[in-house]
Structure 1
Amino acid sequence: MTGELSMGRDLHGHEERSFAVDTTPPLGERGWDTAVTEAIVARMRADRSVVLMGLEVSRYRADLIEEFGPLRVIDTPISENGVVGMAVGAARAGLQPIVDLWHASFVYIVMDQLLNGLSLSQGLFGLPAPVVLKMRTGIPVRTPGTTHARMPHWMLAGVPGIDVIYPSCAEDAGPLMAAALRGLRPTIFLEHIDLCKQQPSGPVPQRLEVGEANTVATGADVTVVALGPTVRHALAARAELDGVLDLEVLDLRSLEPLDLDTVLASVRKTRRLVIVDEAPSKTSFAWWLSGAVRAQVPELLAEPRCVTAMEGPIPYSPHGLAPGIVPQPADIVAAARCTASLTTGVTP
């Protein structure tokens, strides 16, 4: 839906043609991909310094280049390190780039730009770098892709000066992308491959802020902290244990900044903790978080339990092997039962 016409200038200061101001109603019942794209388009309409770049980004919507032009919608070669380097330079020059890296496995190629360019830009050089790196993550258990089976969110959350957002549902995806673009900080926006075609199943928040965890379900016996796709598994486990154990399920939404206060408040109530993370145990965010909670909640009745992905290389074609590779509801049920049995001596 469009409204009044507006005039503006392009990146060279030349007057542009008039364009229709977006008066589309709130996100409503739109799917994940549509909601994220519309959050990007809305920001590009509101701020002419915002540019979108990456492999085939013009395919987000058929009219993107027509509306914004090739200087603001840039299809790039497969050269991730160069593209992110270009984005860092553009940000230091006053633009706000959004870069689509496609898959998070490619982030290892750009670590120099990430560590020595993006994260240090403000603190070392006094130059803001409001770059949003959008990438899809997740172990592809239905299609071949060993080289696309990395889960780097734990590592990215440890890079100082960079926010890491990890939505778990279609309802939150659009508002969290809008929050990332509004915040003007270097940000990693992770989209799990099993979720990005999802449709909302409930109301869509009109506005979210980065760093606010969501208590998806309240409970009294065990706190289950989940991130990304594992939130749905935690809810399935809660339903299975209904009448046996009362699970409180938290969706972190972002790893940096981390809403540790909400996690600690829940754990102090239940005094038992299970953390679910679709990453191998030794390199999972779950292990770091379990240590942080142990240090601040001495009244725990049992050691936190981490439910994580398998160790070792992911099979090239793991179709049908998901239960043995990534956390499943049954794994969360077992962890919750074990945590409760350690404190009561009786297996629920």
Structure 2
Amino acid sequence: MTKAHRRQNPAGRKPEEPPTRGPVEITVGRVGARGDGVAEWQGHRLFVPQALAGDRLMARFGARRSDGWEAVPVSLIEEAPGRAEPACRHFGTCGGCALQHMDDAAYVAWTAQVVETVLSRAGLLEGVEIRPLVRTPAGGRRRAVLSAAKRGKRQWLGFNERASHRLVDVNECLVLGSELDRLLEPLRELLAGWLADGQTLDVALTVLEDGVDLVLEGGPEPDLAALEALAAFAERHDLARLTRRPRPGAPAEPIALRRQGIVRFGDATVSPAPALSSRPAGKGRRRWWPRRWRQPRGPGAWPTSSPAAVRSPSRWPGGRRYMRWRGMRGPCGRWRGAYVPLAVPAAASVSSGATCSRSR
């Protein structure tokens, strides 16, 4: 039994049988918030991948979902308007994108419909003006988390398939910014010389103001030769920072800290912990409130060796404090801490705009 089946059947119960084994004819009524077409058949809800509202097709019942069934398309009877040829050759197997089969007009209409649905369910739609979508061009993505695996003599690097743990080997990604896309092949070569057969790790890439932040999570403990190779990689590709986490949740261990690694929020400049949330896109981005940075990040140095304390507060223009740093001694004597937001001053303006690409 797979991990997915254990999550759906925590007591080890037998998976629910579908209402019928043969293909059925369905018509997609709408496209849901996760990009799947939603159809009904005799009171059962089906989720159809890569579908458009109005598509009529034959499909089989697939895996059970909490709110319906996965649909496995068999044949398309009637195609709805608004379909486009996907730009990426990995689309359909790679789980990173879900909507490249939509043309631009259908995509814009879908995003507006998703916002309206959410506001309507919350009772907030009345009197609300929904403004046009803030567009993010292709090649504008500033962060990504990839998976890497060594299988025999081949090094895999890419994203998981849709709703699966299977890995798709990605040679290029049209969504990623050029700073990240050009690192894919060099990263593959670097990991091929480090990982042994069967070993895996995650790779987090983030474009900061002063360079790319690269975090490796998992994988084998690097020996001296591996550390030298990683440091040389950071120098050769002009990375801002290269760090490693032995396991999820563990403190990041610096390998090459060539620059501080900064992000700007209006007039404020912060140095985020490796691989934590950053603005997803460059062009078209809006300001948002920095919630929390979960690493030792006192002003001036990383990692910090100062005692637990409230560190020098950052301030809004006019001297009003908006964030403070709290530190504490964690396991193994390591200093750990976080930037903790205080109450947002009345003068602070946070945009409600959103950036959006067709990545999910």
TM-score (normalised: structure 2):
0.27
**Higher share in strand:** 2
CA radius of gyration, larger in: 2
Higher RCO, Cα 8 Å, sep 6+: 1
